[in-house]
Amino acid sequence: MIDPPREGVKEAVKTCKKAGIKTVMITGDHIATAKAIAKELHILGTTDKAITGQELDKIPQQELEKTIKEYSVFARVTPEHKVRIVKAYQKTGAVVAMTGDGVNDSPALKNADIGIAMGKNGTDVAKNAADMILADDNFVTIVEAVKQGRNIYDNIKKAIHFLIATNIGEIVTIFMGLVLGLKSPLLAIQLLWINLVTDSLPAIAIGLEPPDKEIMNRKPVSSRKGIFSDGLWNKIVVEGIMIGMLTLVAFSLGNKFFGLEVGRTMAFLSMGLLELVHSFNIKSEQSIFKIGILENKFLIGSFIVGTLIQILVVLVPTLAEIFKLVPLNQTQWIITIIISLLPIPIMEVQKKLNETKYSKRIYQEKANA
């Protein structure tokens, strides 16, 4: 007798493999039954091994920790065996998620990094021992949760990236203006407005970015890595300097040829628009012309609203007086807009260089392997 796998589980296991997640079957069933189902679901590959609880008893824990990755099916196991398996995988540095529904699963659920109990058929003991409860008892839902989790992590990272880069841009503008002996490019009230409008709206929108199409085709991020690993700090600093220097260029041109108030108005508009434009560069490591810019309606909305508000502050006399701004002529507007759009070609060149560099590295690693 056999309990057939649920619909969609085979595809979910395949997705896990692409995502660098190893799916392991731990069951009380006979090993022949377990192997048959595992092969059907592609959990048991040609190089993977299956083992019974009786055979597991003969293997010392230290030896199991060294060979645990070779096994994909564990049959006729006891609650003690399940805990041993979980701890052995954890010793390899893996983050272990364990599913279960019975009282005998609760020790392993408690010891796993993420214990997942079944919501429909699970016992109260299993639910209390778990970190999460699966409402529909479906493995496919776990894979979807991993996808959503990865997307949340990515969006938090992007929002932090954007906020720190833009704040560094503001610091660079004021600091370099003082170092170069210029009058303050931006007044305090102008900086506060930029922080309120052009920083916060895109950051919120970036936090609502939909999942990348390739999100489940990459390996998991190591739990030992910090959020600023893999050169993120360098990117943030370079992008912040870019925003600051472009704002200074706008201020210097306006100040030199049209006067201090015009220079500050051009700097105010440029910095706000630079940050709004740069938010699209943060969407992905890939070119925005490849991934498109229309998937995130919130980001489009924040850009339109932010741009309109920024322009209205300059055009409405009462608001302009509060923020110490002056109207710009056609030439000044053209200069400001051109400077504000420069982050796109600059970042596209940088992304292309990174793509070439890392593609070569990946190719060499594959060749060496």
Do 168 and 120 have their domain in common? no
The closest alpha carbon to 72, from 95, 92, 48, belongs to 48
Of residues 360 and 299, more confidently modeled: 299
Q: Give the containing element (helix H, strand E) for 52.
A: strand 49-52
HSE-CB for 10 with a 13 A CA cutoff: 8
What's the pLDDT band for 146 if we cut at 50, 70, 90? very high
Percent of the chain with pLDDT over 90: 67
| Total of domains in the chain | 2
The dihedral through the CA atoms of 39, 44, 46, 51 has a sign that is negative
Which one is predicted more confidently, 369 or 186?
186
pLDDT of residue 144: 92
Helices (H) and strands (E) in the chain, counts: 17, 6
Interval 60-111: pLDDT, tens? 999 999 999 999 999 999 999 999 999 999 999 899 999 998 899 999 999 9
pLDDT band at 316 (very low <50, low <70, confident <90, very high): very high
Instruction: Assess contact for 285 and 354: CB atoms under 8 A.
Output: yes
**Residue 117: what pLDDT?**
93
The per-residue pLDDT for range 160-214, each reduced to its tens digit, is 999 999 999 999 999 988 888 778 899 999 999 998 888 889 999 999 999 888 8
Say what percent of the chain tops pLDDT 70: 95
Please check whether residues 349 and 237 belong to one and the same domain: yes
DSSP 131: S
Q: What is the pLDDT of residue 361?
A: 46
Residue 302, pLDDT score: 93
Q: By CB neighbour count within 10 A (0-12 exposed, 13-18 middle, 19+ buried), where does 165 fall?
A: buried
- Residue 327 and residue 315 in contact, taking contact as beta carbons nearer than 8 Å: yes
The 10 Å CB-count burial string (b at 16+, else e) for 30-57 is: ebeebbebbbebbbbeeebebbbbeebe
64/173 same-domain check: no
194 lies in the same domain as 123:
no
A 10 A CB-CB count for 21 gives 18
3 domain-assigned:
no
Q: Does any domain span residue 279?
A: yes
> Does the residue 225 lie in any domain?
yes
DSSP secondary structure letters along 237-304? HHHHHHHHHHHHHHHHHHHHHH-HHHHHHHHHHHHHHHHHHHHHHTT-SS-HHHH-S-S-HHHHHHHH
Pairing between β-strand 25-26 and β-strand 71-75 as defined by DSSP bridges: parallel
Strand pairing category for 71-75 and 49-52: parallel
Q: Is the model's pLDDT at 355 over the cut of 60? A: yes
Look at residue 368 in the predicted model and tell me its pLDDT: 44
pLDDT, averaged across the chain: 89
Same domain, 344 and 324: yes
Strand partners, 114: 97
CATH code for position 24: 3.40.50.1000
- Residues 295, 185 within the same domain: yes
Of the three residues 143, 163, 183, the one that is the final residue of a domain is 143
Q: Which CATH number does the domain housing residue 225 bear?
A: 1.20.1110.10
Closest CA to 258 of 327, 158, 339, 352: 327
Same domain flag for 116 and 209: no
User: Is residue 240 predicted with pLDDT exceeding 60?
Assistant: yes
Whether residue 285 lies inside any domain: the answer is yes
Structure tokens at 280: 């699209």
Q: Are 49 and 70 in contact (CB under 8 A)?
A: yes
| Residue 275: partners with Cβ closer than 8 Å, 6 or more residues away | 166, 169, 194, 198, 199, 202, 243
pLDDT band (50, 70, 90) for residue 366: very low
Q: Residue 2: pLDDT band by 50, 70, 90 thresholds? A: low
What is the domain extent for residue 247?
A: 151-368
- Is residue 226 domain-shared with residue 324, that is, in the same domain? yes
Task: Among 126, 143, 160, identify where a domain stops.
Answer: 143
Arithmetic mean of pLDDT, 117-130: 91
Same domain, 80 and 164: no
DSSP 44: S
16 vs 305: CA distance, rounded Å: 40
Can you tell me the mean pLDDT for 263-274? 95
169 and 296 in one domain? Answer: yes
SS3 11: helix
Residue 2 located in a structural domain: no
Q: Closest by alpha carbon to 276, among 172, 366, 197, 177?
A: 197
Residue 347's contacts (CB-CB under 8 Å, 6 or more residues apart) are 239, 278, 281
Query: Is the same domain home to 202 and 284?
Result: yes
Q: Domain end: 96, 112, 143, which one?
A: 143
Q: In this model, does residue 367 exceed pLDDT 70?
A: no
Nearest to 80, CA basis, from 113, 118, 44, 106:
106
Confidence of residue 218 (pLDDT cuts 50, 70, 90): confident
Q: Is 163 contained in some domain?
A: yes
Q: Which residues contact 320 (CB under 8 A, 6 or more apart)?
A: 313, 314, 326, 327
pLDDT number for residue 139: 87
Which pLDDT band, with edges at 50, 70 and 90, does 268 fall under?
Answer: very high
Same domain, 238 and 334: yes
Q: What angle do CA 28, 30, 33 make, to 5 degrees?
A: 110
